[in-house]
């Protein structure tokens, strides 16, 4: 016989299957987050996975590489793309429905987004984002509200206040500083921002070389620099190292007057902190001069939630984790669709990253308990039952409905295996108990309950088969009517 060539059960790179405990925890987090967003007065919105490419594509990082980074194709009429975030679709939605919406408009959205980029450890091409935004106000109160919402949500998800900080800055400050240093070329500005964004990873020296001539990485690959002169570089490095203490209560005055834009940023930050300082997250929401965020469309306040504990990968090594959430003000995004001013501010939580982090917090280990398994004794018994002097089929369904109406996860074994195979199955499903109801039980009107949980514990001490078989206290027989109560004791 010629062998068929089998398909390989592979996934496209950057995509993963999820199962069991991980998914249960993910659903639980989503529930917590949704409830909290509603508590803060946000209303839900759902938009399609696909958008018309043009509507979400204008803010691609490189104009000369349109469509890179997204999954898209042309239908009969338009180029359409899977969304790469939830912000661009929000802008489109607000543009379409502006007149009907409350101003400000507060909405949250949970959804999958797709990015056609190189995947890495903990970085996928499909992931879940959770966003909350306030559209239609320039009031800094809204920025403060979403920052507080971010902090509050992380705590409700199970982080303690000492597990994270939310670093805050204002785009106007940094660009104001650059303006004062006579760096005005837009490309230089965005590249400078991106270089500063790498401070965490590359350190001051790395940022310096990226701002100057360029940098060689470990593999010998060379990255071209921004080409600033040494004086400008020195000033920038100084500024990004003033950091948290600079704004403990009120701003340090050392850069006052360097440019109008800078002063405006400081005013906004002062206003922002006046709000967060009286919230319960005064110590978590802190100023950080080196926070810039690589995203192009931010116009004012920016913030990022950073975890303060180490996250490990599957092999137990610490990994470079990045932020679990962030956001900021983007006053020009919505107005692409609309003549009116539609300033906006919001946050985004990377749910899958948060999930990985939460799984490493001890209090979050969910155990995926399987169903109580009712073992089936005779193959084809459902056909064979009539004519016997005992009835074996109907009681299975009776037992099943007793358990299920008591809210106990349960099932009749639906495979073809022997009793032994059924036990193995129940074991693998992490079932708390197996129920045996065969000829013996049927004649006496009883059921046998095998306590798989207790058996599992006992098995660690048992060395040989004889002891295992003798260990009968993991099994008991009860009257049919007592079944539910006995099972409940095991759960």
Residues 113-152 that bind RNA (CB under 7 A): 115-121, 123
Contact by Cβ (8 Å): 177, 255:
yes
Q: Alpha carbon 441 to chain centroid distance? A: 49
Structure tokens at 453: 């949980």
CB-nearer residue toward RNA: 165 or 449: 449
Report how many residues bind RNA under the rule CB under 7 A: 75
Look up tokens 């398994």; give the residue. Answer: 373
Distances (CA, A) of 13 to 70, 84, 321, 489: 15, 17, 20, 46
Per-residue exposure over 260-299, b if at least 16 CB sit within 10 Å of its own CB, e if not: ebbbebbebbeebbebbeeeebeebbbbbbbbbbebebbb
Interacting positions 384-413 with RNA (CB under 7 A): none
Using CB under 7 A as the binding rule, whether residue 219 contacts RNA is answered as: yes
Taking residues 226 to 265 in sequence order and writing x for each that binds RNA by CB under 7 A, - otherwise, the string is: ----------------------------------------
Residue 211: φ, ψ to 5°: -75, -30
For RNA, which residue of 261, 474, 483, 487 counts as binding (CB under 7 A)? 474
CB-nearer residue toward RNA: 57 or 300: 57
Taking residues 334 to 373 in sequence order and writing x for each that binds RNA by CB under 7 A, - otherwise, the string is: ----------------------------------------
Closest contact distance (angstroms) between CB of 365 and RNA is 19
Q: Which of 454, 445, 440 is CA-nearest to residue 479?
A: 445
CB-nearer residue toward RNA: 180 or 438: 438
CB-nearer residue toward RNA: 229 or 439: 439
CB-nearer residue toward RNA: 238 or 440: 440
Interacting positions 283-342 with RNA (CB under 7 A): 293-297, 320
Span from 23-31, 111-119, 238-246, 256-264 in contact with RNA (CB under 7 A): 111-119
Q: Which of 304, 322, 277, 50 is CA-nearest to residue 144?
A: 277
Using CA of residue 212, residue 216, residue 218, residue 219, what is the dihedral sign? positive
For RNA, which residue of 92, 125, 167, 450 counts as binding (CB under 7 A)? 450
Conformation bin of residue 105: beta by default, left when phi > 0, alpha when psi is -120 to 50: beta
Q: Alpha carbon 171 to chain centroid distance? A: 26
Using CB under 7 A as the binding rule, whether residue 377 contacts RNA is answered as: yes
CB-nearer residue toward RNA: 139 or 332: 332
Closest contact distance (angstroms) between CB of 385 and RNA is 15
CB-nearer residue toward RNA: 58 or 404: 58
| Distance, CA of 47 to CA of 56 (rounded, Å) | 13
CB-nearer residue toward RNA: 136 or 432: 432
Using CB under 7 A as the binding rule, whether residue 49 contacts RNA is answered as: no
Conformation bin of residue 241: beta by default, left when phi > 0, alpha when psi is -120 to 50: alpha
Pairing of strands 433-436, 372-374: parallel
| Distance, CA of 67 to CA of 65 (rounded, Å) | 6
Taking residues 156 to 195 in sequence order and writing x for each that binds RNA by CB under 7 A, - otherwise, the string is: -----------------------------------x--x-
Closest contact distance (angstroms) between CB of 242 and RNA is 23
For RNA, which residue of 64, 76, 220, 394 counts as binding (CB under 7 A)? 220
Q: Which of 410, 414, 486 is CA-nearest to residue 454?
A: 486
Interacting positions 64-93 with RNA (CB under 7 A): 69-70, 84-85, 87-88
Closest contact distance (angstroms) between CB of 381 and RNA is 12
Interacting positions 6-35 with RNA (CB under 7 A): 13
Using CB under 7 A as the binding rule, whether residue 427 contacts RNA is answered as: yes
Using CB under 7 A as the binding rule, whether residue 414 contacts RNA is answered as: no
Q: Which residues pair with 433 in a beta bridge?
A: 451
For RNA, which residue of 223, 274, 340, 360 counts as binding (CB under 7 A)? 223
Closest contact distance (angstroms) between CB of 280 and RNA is 29
CB-nearer residue toward RNA: 280 or 467: 467
Q: Please measure the distance between the N-terminal and C-terminal CA atoms of the chain and give it in whole angstroms.
A: 51
Q: Which of 298, 252, 249, 277 is CA-nearest to residue 147?
A: 277
CB-nearer residue toward RNA: 176 or 327: 327
Using CB under 7 A as the binding rule, whether residue 47 contacts RNA is answered as: no
CB-nearer residue toward RNA: 230 or 294: 294
Closest contact distance (angstroms) between CB of 444 and RNA is 9
């Amino acid at each position: 016989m010629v062998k068929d060539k089998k398909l390989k059960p592979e996934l496209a790179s950057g995509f993963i299957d999820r199962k069991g405990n991980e998914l249960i925890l993910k659903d639980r987090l989503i529930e917590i987050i949704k409830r909290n967003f509603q508590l803060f007065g946000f209303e839900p919105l759902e938009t399609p996975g696909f958008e018309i490419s043009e509507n979400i594509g204008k803010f691609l990082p490189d104009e000369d590489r349109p469509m890179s980074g997204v999954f898209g194709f042309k239908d009969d009429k338009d180029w359409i793309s899977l969304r790469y975030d939830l912000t661009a679709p929000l802008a489109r939605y607000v543009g379409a429905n502006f007149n009907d919406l409350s101003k400000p408009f507060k909405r949250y959205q949970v959804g999958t987004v797709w990015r056609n980029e190189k995947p890495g450890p903990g970085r996928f091409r499909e992931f879940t984002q959770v966003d909350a935004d306030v559209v239609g106000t320039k009031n800094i109160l809204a920025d403060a509200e979403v920052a507080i919402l971010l902090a509050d949500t992380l705590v409700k998800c199970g982080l303690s206040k000492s597990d994270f900080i939310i670093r805050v800055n204002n785009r106007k400050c940094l660009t104001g500083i650059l303006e004062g240093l006579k760096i005005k070329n837009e490309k230089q500005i965005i590249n400078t921002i991106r270089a500063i964004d790498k401070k965490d990873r590359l350190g001051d020296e790395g940022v310096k070389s990226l701002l100057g001539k360029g940098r060689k990485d470990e593999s010998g690959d060379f990255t071209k620099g921004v080409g600033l002169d040494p004086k400008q570089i020195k000033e920038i490095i100084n500024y990004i190292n003033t950091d948290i203490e600079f704004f403990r209560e009120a701003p340090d005055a050392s850069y006052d007057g360097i440019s109008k834009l800078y002063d405006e940023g400081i005013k906004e930050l002062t206003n922002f902190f006046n709000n967060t300082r009286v919230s319960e997250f005064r110590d978590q929401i802190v100023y950080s001069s080196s926070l810039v965020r690589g995203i192009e469309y931010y116009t004012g306040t920016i913030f990022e939630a950073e975890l303060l504990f180490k996250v490990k990968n599957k092999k137990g090594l610490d990994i470079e984790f990045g932020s679990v959430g962030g956001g900021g003000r983007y006053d020009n995004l919505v107005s692409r669709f609309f003549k009116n001013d539609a300033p906006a501010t919001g946050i985004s939580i990377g749910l899958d990253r948060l999930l990985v982090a939460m799984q490493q917090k001890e209090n979050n280990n969910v155990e995926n308990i399987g169903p109580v398994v009712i073992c089936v004794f005779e193959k084809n018994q459902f056909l064979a039952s009539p004519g016997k002097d005992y009835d074996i089929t109907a009681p299975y369904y009776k037992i099943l409905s007793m358990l299920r109406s008591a809210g106990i996860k349960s099932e009749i074994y639906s495979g073809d295996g022997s009793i032994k195979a059924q036990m193995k199955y129940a074991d693998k499903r992490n079932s708390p108990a197996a129920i045996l109801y065969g000829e013996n039980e049927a004649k006496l009107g009883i059921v046998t309950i095998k306590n798989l949980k207790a058996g599992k514990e006992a098995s660690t001490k048992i060395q040989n088969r004889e002891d295992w078989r003798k260990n009968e206290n993991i099994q008991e027989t009860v009257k049919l009517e007592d079944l539910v109560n006995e099972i409940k004791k095991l759960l």
